[in-house]
Amino acid sequence: MAECVSNPNDYTQLLDVTALSCPLPLLKTKLALKSLAVGDVLLVRACDAGSWRDIPRYLELSEHQLMSASREGNEYHYWIVKGVKR
């Protein structure tokens, strides 16, 4: 998993799930990805520690790509590129 992005402000949509706990950050991420076009970037902000495991694992099994992930204090950030069905 990458630790930084070249431009952290380069995203199509922001999903703020910092007030939600497991399993909602992952579920909201899946729903947000459905509404994006292929190649769009979703930035997810979460405070649930389980998201550090759940979101990257889901993306490994999906058509989407985790471009970068970072942790800042108790907040987790994920830059996800919407992919195409395999």
For 33-77, the pLDDT digits (tens) are 999 999 999 999 999 999 999 999 999 999 999 999 999 999 999
- Residue 44: in which H helix or E strand, if any? strand 41-46
Residue type, 11: Y
Q: Which residue is catalytic, options 5, 20, 22, 24? A: 22
| Angle in degrees, 0-180, between the axes of helices 51-60 and 24-34, rounded to the nearest 10 | 40
In a domain, 2, yes or no: no
Nearest Cα residue to 5 out of 52, 59, 67: 67
| Domain-embedded: residue 41 | yes
> For residue 61, is it within any domain?
yes
User: Quick check: is 29 in a domain?
Assistant: yes
Q: Name beta bridge partners: 44.
A: 15, 78
Structural domain includes residue 31: yes
Say if CB 39 and CB 15 are below 8 A apart: no
Total structural domains within the chain: 1
Which pTM value belongs to this model?
A: 0.88
Give the integer Cα–Cα distance in Å for 47 and 12: 21
Residue 86: per-residue pLDDT: 57
Answer yes or no: 47 catalytic: no
Q: Tell me if 1 is assigned to some domain.
A: no
- Residue span of the structural domain in which 20 resides: 13-81
